Structure 1
Amino acid sequence: MIRRQFLARSLSAAVASLFARDVFAQHAGHSMQGMEDMEGMDDMSGMSGMQHAKPSLKAPPQGALAPADALPAGAPLPDLRRLANAGSEAGTFRATLVAEPTQHRLLAGRSTTFWQYNGSGAGSAQDPVTGPLIDVREGDTVEIRFINRLPQPSTIHWHGLPVPPDQDGNPSAMIAPGATHVYRFTLPPGSAGTYWYHPHPHMMSAEQVFRGLAGPIIVRAADDPLAGFPERHLFFSDLKLATDGSIPANDMMDWMNGREGQFVLVNGARRPRITVKEDERWRLWNACSARYLRFSLGEQQRFVQVGTDGGLLEKPREGLTELLLAPGERAEVIVRAGGAPSQATLTADVYDRRKMAMSHGSLPPDPAHALADVTFQPHTDARAGSSARSVPATLRTIVPFPAPVAQKSVIFSEAMDMAAMHRPGASVHGMPAGMRFMINGAGFDPKRVTLTSRRDEVEQWTIENRTDMDHPFHLHGTQFQVIGRERGGVKTPEPYLAWRDTVNVQPDEIVRIATVQTMAGERMFHCHILEHEDLGMMGTLKVT
């Protein structure tokens, strides 16, 4: 039963008001405790082997949130830390990532504990919530030694990279607290692009990411046609912060709609200052748990999109004034310095993703959010420099997939058991009872294979959203091409050819993609609103 049907028949405005007040008062103050007795979560069957996943850290009840201007703004955009290559052999990248609690002072007189990759010794002035950049090349063999110093089991998922299933940090291969695991894979030709890494333990992904565990990856090609452009990296993350400096647990609204904090950080900084003196290539990462970022530099400042999740487009998209990135998506754009000094604000413009209300219908969309202040100070020879670094009319060759030999269907749905949600204690556990987000009518079960594919077979996947809110679809292990969309019976072909691993699906929309899996094993596919993924909107693809 979808939201509009259930709420119209089951929830009066008075009850909703009382329940909403109770929800906001309690704020689900305990982090992931009592997973073994979650009521109303029938589709979480088969989790008997997950007792070791019960976290040992108990979060205090959530208090008042810090005001939206509590963090300083206006400092220069911090550079991303880089993960040093400890390997000495050519073509090998060898390093260590340690997931560990790390304290920083963001609010005056208050200490905030993040969970961070390689956080020991990091200061509050240097990307306190951003993992180090992994910068590698096509053909490299990557070996990452992962040490888990968290109070929970974890994994590292190499989001978007074509790595073997047993190296992709799936929830079936969790690394226990105190344990070490080595991930090894080789980056094939054609894999150049903008990627990221983050944890993927089932029912704990959301918490581990909102506490700070995420970092960027760049895979470079030897024949990059845009290599002459100076690069700027903007890694966007979301932070909810209480007045006492703590990072609070999810409340009921966070679980229903996906968590959005009062701060959107860029490379770990609030509303930094960016100075552009020549045309630049910007790599953009939306690493937020649930926030959609509709990027804009204003109507007067146009930019060129040159890349998506899986690397460069075939043809650049000129003259854009906005670009929507759903959670998990990445993009590359060329930002022009112009011929005269000017100012702009990098903004996340209003986007209505139809967040759920406690009574009926949807919440109004959030207002626009300023992300960074940009000053354009072009060199006197900026025009000549721009001409020397023109964007080619063709960036790469992308061959469309041939006719598919197999079809797959993915249907997003949701259901709410309001009786279970009202049951005493329902809102004090980390994951609420009675709230279900499903794929093909069922919540995630690690013992169940949702779909089966054959290696090297071209498939057409149909992703249908039967809920009332947007959901970003993410497929592990490969990139795909979006063929077209259908809504209200109207079919629209995708206007550009690109490689992607995440695509937004609006309510009542059908998105068709073409893809192929080249390695046998089990892969995940899911909604990349991390709370929805944890609540069951995930499936297993078995490739034979």
Structure 2
Amino acid sequence: MKRREFLSGVLGAATATLFARASVAGEAMPGMGNMGNMGGMAGMSGTSAEMPHAPAPLAAADALPAGAPLAALRTLANDSREAGVFRATLIAQPAPHALLPGVAPTTFWQYDGAQSSDHRGPVIGPLIDVREGDRVEIRFVNRLAQPSTIHWHGLPVPPDQDGNPSKPIEPGAEHTYRFTLPKGSAGTYWYHPHPHMLSAEQVFRGLAGPIVVRAADDPLAAWPERHLFVSDLKLAADGTIPANSMMDWMNGREGQFVLANGAREPHIEVVRDERWRVWNGCNARYLLLAFDDGRAFAQVGTDGGLLGAPREGVSSLLLAPGERAELIVRAGQGASAARLLAAQYDRRKMAMTHGSLPPTPMATLAQVKFAPQEASKALPAQLLPIERLVPSDVKKSVVFSEEMDMHAMHQPGASKRSMPQGMHFMINGESYDPARVTLTSRRNEVETWTIANQTDMDHPFHLHGTQFQVLARESGGQRIEETLLAWRDTVNVKPGESVHLATVQHEAGDRMFHCHILEHEDLGMMGTLRVI
């Protein structure tokens, strides 16, 4: 059943209208504060005594201060004195941050280094700054009350070191991840948890951090570099981070605050042309990057590293959840100012009646002042040669679909469950089962994958352990060949669209692939690829 029709025959028109109004407001109706409290739906025809307590109201949209200078990301210290070895400790633990006046500090879950106990810096996990060829050893200590893992998003690490949900690190336990970064892996990556059914919460409470892998022959190494790690925060007026509402689970969570390096609308001053690395570390928010005055920038890199040549004259660039980009931002010819935006993008979020919710409103990511002190310099005409993958005859098909079972969602006791009942996000007709192998591939064999989105909203596809190249997009019977040759590990797939890509896995073992709206991943839109 199409998800936009799932209320038909189940709820009356008045009830459906009530749901729709709550969803348009961006919050669940009273009694719907957590999908674990689905009994609020089951009890709608009863008395108010049957309804759970309403969630705390959200903090006002201007409750967080804005305009402070963009904070530098913390850097994870290398404890090794051996050349070519990066050895460090990451600790996942609760961390208090005073955000709102007059209320208790907000408790985030945060990655800290072994030497760091100061929580005054950005919530964002420390930057892991490494080089091609490095042997990496990171000891992970879990001080949360939940099992967790660390997934090295986009990096070509061995399957048993990739933080897959099959290898959880229990509360109080630790594990050392070990891998070597091969030549050609330079790029912009990130790390975040990947325990099944817990990933979304752990990320929206703060567990995520950036990775930069550098090459010895980087043609842009001399350019000043700026890092913008974008996340969002849903914050209650009492300073707590609320659990997911029903609409959060259905559409993916979007907080009312969009943050760059952990702060709202920070100030950036650009005095010379800069290389920007931008991460979309949000659970579900899409970032249509643009300046409000329409000024152009150049794109020089994607998820897996530099492009073959710069893309000049870019005025907007879409980053789906999990995607990254490298940009060249020019200081310009004279003093000026602009806002860096997450411009409005319609990903067709679900309404509780027919149709979709309005697009997420535009958000300001940063206030940028341009005060040039140097003449602009030319980019190299060529950046990094990219070898085009030549697929074999082996083809794989991945189909995104959704299903809502209102009968299951109304069952007694649904309010006591931690995950929503009857809400299924599927790949190839099935929700994720840890015991099931969805697809099988052969090591070193280049394959063509087709990712088909049979739902009514956008879904970003992510494949572990490798990068891929998009070949073409197909919609409404029309196929459009991809003109940008680039390395990616995440790609957006629009409703009714099929994306064709070429990919190859180089190590045997199990790899995950899934929608990178983390709520949908937790609800089953994930599969296992077995590489033999």
When the two structures are superposed, what TM-score results if normalisation uses the length of structure 1?
Answer: 0.91
Cα distance in 2 for partners of 1:348, 1:517 equals: 34
CA 1:277–1:23 in structure 2 vs 1: closer, same or farther (change >3 Å)? closer
Is the Cα contact below 8 Å between 2:153 and 2:190 reproduced in 1? yes
Amino acid at match of 2:302: T
2:201 is paired with a residue whose SS is helix
Q: Following TM superposition, by how much is the alpha carbon of 1:434 offset from its aligned partner in structure 2, in angstroms?
A: 0.7
Quote the Cα distance in structure 1 between the aligned partners of 2:196 and 2:101. 35
What is the Cα deviation at residue 12 of structure 1?
4.1
Compute the displacement of 1:289 (Å). Answer: 0.1
Q: How far has the Cα of 1:85 moved from its partner?
A: 0.1
Task: State yes or no: 1:158 paired with 2:152.
Answer: yes
Using a 3 Å threshold, how does the CA distance of structure 1 residues 7 and 486 change in structure 2: closer, same or farther? Answer: farther
Q: Does residue 1:358 correspond to 2:352, yes or no? A: yes
Check the 8 A contact 1:294/1:348 in 2, yes or no. yes
Q: Which amino acid aligns with 2:160?
A: D
Amino acid at match of 1:165: P
> Cα offset for 1:495?
2.0
State how far apart, in whole Å, the 2-side matches of 1:266 and 1:299 are: 20
Alpha-carbon distance, 1:424 to partner: 4.3
Cα separation, 2, equivalents of 1:419 and 1:29 = 18
Q: Give 1:216's aligned residue.
A: 210
Q: Distance in 1 between matches of 2:173 and 2:485?
A: 42
Q: Distance in 1 between matches of 2:416 and 2:349?
A: 22
Aligned-residue offset at 1:422: 3.0
Establish whether residue 280 from structure 1 lines up as the match of residue 274 from structure 2.
yes
More displaced 10-residue stretch of structure 1: 524-533 or 61-70: 61-70
Residue 26 (structure 1) aligns with:
31
Letter in 2 for 1:153: P
Number of the residue aligned with 2:472: 484
2:506 to 518, 530, 538: 518
User: What is the SS of the residue equivalent to 2:332?
Assistant: coil
Q: 1:402: which partner in 2?
A: 390
For residue 45 of structure 1, what is the aligned residue in structure 2?
Answer: none
Q: How does 1:309-320 map to 2 (within 5 A)?
A: 309-320=303-314
Distance in structure 1 (CA, Å) of the matches to 2:3 and 2:31: 23
Q: Residues 107-149 of structure 1: CA distance to partner in whole angstroms, max 9, x if unpaired?
A: 013210000001863334x21x200000000000000000000
3-state SS of 2:6 partner: helix
Q: Residue type matched to 2:512 in 1?
A: M
- Tell me which of 139, 144, 169 is aligned to 2:163: 169
Match of 2:101 among 101, 108, 111: 108
- Tell me what 2:227 maps to: 233
**Amino acid across the alignment from 1:122:** D
DSSP 3-state at the match of 2:461: strand
Of 328, 333, 336 in structure 2, the residue corresponding to residue 334 of structure 1 is 328
Correspondence 1:94 to 2:93: no
1:298 Cα deviation after fit: 3.0
For residue 464 of structure 1, report the CA deviation from its aligned partner: 0.1
The one-letter code of the counterpart of 1:15 is T
Is 1:179 the counterpart of 2:184 in the alignment?
Answer: no
Counterpart-to-counterpart distance in 2, 1:231 and 1:511: 32
Where does structure 1 lack aligned partners over 5 or more consecutive residues? 40-59
Provide the aligned length of Structure 1 versus Structure 2. 513
Contact map agreement 1:31 1:249 (CA 8 A) in 2: no
Q: Does 1:122 align with 2:127?
A: no
Residue of structure 2 equivalent to 1:249: 243
| Percent identity between the two aligned chains | 68
1:175 Cα deviation (Å)? Answer: 0.2
Q: Distance in 2 between matches of 1:75 and 1:301?
A: 23
Residue 292 of structure 2: SS of its match in structure 1?
coil
Deviation at 1:367, TM superposition (A): 1.7
CA shift for structure 1 position 30: 8.1
Say if 2:4 and 2:352, in contact at 8 Å, map to a contact too.
no
Q: Which residue of 1 aligns with 2:78?
A: 85
* Superposed counterparts of 1:368-447, under 5 Å: 368-379=362-373, 382-383=374-375, 386-387=376-377, 390-427=378-415, 429-447=417-435
Change in Cα spacing, 1:251 to 1:196, as seen in structure 2 (3 Å) is same
Q: Please tell me whether residue 457 in structure 1 is matched to residue 445 in structure 2.
A: yes
> 2:65 and 2:36 mapped to 1: Cα distance?
28
2:155 partner SS: coil
**2:48 corresponds to which residue?**
none
The one-letter code sitting in structure 2 at the alignment partner of 1:26 is G
Contact map agreement 1:27 1:249 (CA 8 A) in 2: no
CA distance in 1, matches of 2:18, 2:330: 52
- Secondary structure at the aligned position of 1:236 is classed as strand
SS of 1:25's partner is coil
Q: Which amino acid aligns with 1:97?
A: L
Amino acid at match of 2:402: E
2:31/2:37 contact within 8 Å kept: no
**8 Å contact from structure 1 (residues 8, 360) kept in 2:** no
Amino acid corresponding to residue 214 of structure 1 in structure 2: A
- C-alpha spacing 1:132/1:8, structure 2 compared with 1 (3 Å): same
User: What amino acid sits opposite 2:313 in the alignment?
Assistant: G
1:528 and 1:30, CA in 2 relative to 1: closer, same or farther beyond 3 A? closer
1:163 partner SS: coil
Cα distance in 2 for partners of 1:105, 1:487 equals 48
Once residues 359 and 416 of structure 2 are traced to their aligned partners in structure 1, the CA distance between those partners, rounded to angstroms, is 27
SS state at 2:247 partner:
helix
Aligned partners of 2:396, 2:296: CA distance in 1, in Å? 38
TM-score (norm 2): 0.93
Secondary structure class of the residue paired with 2:29? helix
1:218-262 deviations in Å (ceiling 9; x for gaps): 000000001111000000011000011000000100000000000
3-state DSSP of counterpart to 1:171: coil
What's the CA shift for 1:429? 3.6
- Structure 2: distance between partners of 1:332 and 1:26: 43
Preserved CA contact (<8 Å) 1:149 1:178: yes
Q: Distance in 1 between matches of 2:242 and 2:54?
A: 7
What is the Cα deviation at residue 419 of structure 1? 2.0
Does residue 71 (structure 1) correspond to residue 64 (structure 2)? The answer is yes
- What is the alpha-carbon distance in structure 2 between the residues aligned to residue 176 and residue 369 of structure 1? 37
Q: Which consecutive residues of structure 2, in runs of 5 or more, have no partner in the other structure?
A: 43-52
Which residue in the other structure is 1:43 paired with? none
Q: Distance in 2 between matches of 1:30 and 1:12?
A: 21
CA deviation profile, 1:369-421 (whole Å, cap 9, x unmatched)? 11110000001xx22xx23xx21111111111113231000000000011222
Q: Distance in 1 between matches of 2:126 and 2:410?
A: 42
CA distance in 2, matches of 1:13, 1:140: 61
Shift of 1:11: 4.8
SS at 2:166 equivalent = helix
